Structure formats: C-alpha cells, structure tokens
C-alpha cells in the first residue's frame, strides 16, 4: 500500500504505537502533535493525504475544530476520531460534523489497522460501474453522486450508506444490518446514527430523497416507484 495517513495526537506514545502498526502494512505516516500543526500540514497540500486519524482532546486546537475546518475543504476525506470518551451524544455530534468512524481509547492496534484498511478499500473500489437509478448516478471511481446530472456533496459515510441502499434496491434492510455492513464492525451505539445520516441524505437528494423509504420496525429500503 502507498496510502498516506495523517496521525494527529498530542501523546507521543500513542502516535508511535499507531505509526508502528500502520507502517507494518506499508502505509506512509505523517504525524502532528496538535490541531494547529495538523491543519497546517493539510492546508499546505504538500502531501496527498488519504485518511486522517484524529484525536479529540488536544492543546491549541481540539479535534472538533480540526474536523470542521477539514470538512470545509474536503467533504470526502475519510476521518477516524480517536477518543477517550464514548458518550453517545459525543458520537452523534461527531457524525453530524462529518466524522466517518469512532475508535475509543484504549483500543486494539490490530483492530485500528483493520478499520483503516476497510475504509480505504471502499474509497478505492476495484472497478467502476455507472448506472442510473431514477436519475441518481454513483460513480465509484470518482466517488461522486449526481442527481439529474448535478453533483451532490456527500460525506464518506453518507456516500457508503446511499451506495449500500441502492445496491440492495427493493430490499428492506434492518438497522443492524446497515450498521454492521456500512460501518463495517459491530456498532454498539444508538440506531439514531443511521436515522441522522438518512435524514441528511434525503435532504441532499432533494425530490429523489423520497426513494429512501422508512420501513417501520425494520429499517430502510431504496425503491423507485
């Protein structure tokens, strides 16, 4: 692999631990010890960053502030938050801001690497197939979504969720199945995470949002009537 990962954490020990495990998988690692340095690295554009591992509690500029500013520049860059707090409200807040994944400290470095690999694998699909679903077109190579020819800005997780629904057109998908497939691991948070993402996707799709149907007591289904 030659993907570049920006690791942002004020703890040297944590950065070294993450770096050592990721380097075993041949990832290129860039380190930042605080939010200000992370933003400087990102904004300079010297490196093509493929994913960001971002600590929440840091000096100078916390993870939330860094996340907001990165999302103003890049809506699609995968961002994994590393946090010592596992409060449901914190996670929901992060998803609203556009975070793609949460990993709670302490964590297994091997699990961290597995999640990084899973996200990057989805970001770089093996082949591209364009197909219109009532005017909604997903371009896997460009990782873009267009509605009637107009580009729709989606976060990484929103993109993956919409793609999963469309790939399973006319099939009712439970919230548990969606979480385990789209989030790619057993997520123990509230199902409102999905509901929040669906709400945002529907809004961004405009009139086409009606094709994402709520199946009471089960989950959601993409169906064009």
Q: What is residue 199's predicted lDDT score, i.e. its pLDDT?
A: 95
Which of 10-19, 103-112, 209-218 has the least mean pLDDT? Answer: 103-112
pLDDT above 90 (res 145)? yes
Q: What is residue 128's predicted lDDT score, i.e. its pLDDT?
A: 55
Which one of 71, 100, 123 terminates a domain?
Answer: 123
Residues 94 and 23 in one domain: yes
Distance (Å, rounded) from C-alpha 157 to C-alpha 94? 12
Residues 105 and 189 in one domain: no
Residues 58 and 82 in one domain: yes
End-to-end CA distance of the chain: 43
Model confidence at 173, pLDDT cuts 50, 70, 90, reads: very high
Tally of structural domains, the chain: 2
Q: What is residue 87's predicted lDDT score, i.e. its pLDDT?
A: 61
Domain assignment of residue 170, given as a range: 132-222
Q: What is the pLDDT of residues 20-36, one digit of tens each?
A: 999 998 899 999 999 99
Distance (Å, rounded) from C-alpha 195 to C-alpha 201? 10
Q: What is residue 91's predicted lDDT score, i.e. its pLDDT?
A: 67
pLDDT above 80 (res 86)? no
Residues 51 and 118 in one domain: yes
Q: What is residue 211's predicted lDDT score, i.e. its pLDDT?
A: 96
Distances (CA, A) of 96 to 112, 192, 199, 201: 22, 11, 11, 12
Model confidence at 212, pLDDT cuts 50, 70, 90, reads: very high
Which one of 123, 152, 169 terminates a domain?
Answer: 123
Residues 91 and 153 in one domain: no
Q: What is residue 166's predicted lDDT score, i.e. its pLDDT?
A: 93
Model confidence at 180, pLDDT cuts 50, 70, 90, reads: confident
The torsion angles phi and psi of 219, rounded to 5 degrees, stand at 175, -115
């Amino acid at each position: 692999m030659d993907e570049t990962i920006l690791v942002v954490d004020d703890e040297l020990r944590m950065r070294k631990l993450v770096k050592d495990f990721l380097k075993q998988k041949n990832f290129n690692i860039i380190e930042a010890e605080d939010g200000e340095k992370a933003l400087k690295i990102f904004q300079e554009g010297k490196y093509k960053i493929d994913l960001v591992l971002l600590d929440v509690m840091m000096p100078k500029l916390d993870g939330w502030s860094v996340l907001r500013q990165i999302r103003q520049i890049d809506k699609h860059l995968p961002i994994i938050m590393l946090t010592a707090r596992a409060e449901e409200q914190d996670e929901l807040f992060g998803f609203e801001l556009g975070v793609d994944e949460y990993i709670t400290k302490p964590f297994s470095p091997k699990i961290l690497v597995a999640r990084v690999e899973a996200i990057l694998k989805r970001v770089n699909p093996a082949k591209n197939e364009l197909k219109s679903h009532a005017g909604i077109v997903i371009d896997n190579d460009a990782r873009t979504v267009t509605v009637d020819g107009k580009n729709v800005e989606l976060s990484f997780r929103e993109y993956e969720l919409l793609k999963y629904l469309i790939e399973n057109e006319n099939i009712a998908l439970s919230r548990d199945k969606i979480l385990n497939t789209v989030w790619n691991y057993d997520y123990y948070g509230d199902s409102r995470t999905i509901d929040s993402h669906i709400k945002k996707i529907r809004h961004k799709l405009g009139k086409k949002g009606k094709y994402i149907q709520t199946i009471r007591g089960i989950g959601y289904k993409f169906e064009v009537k």
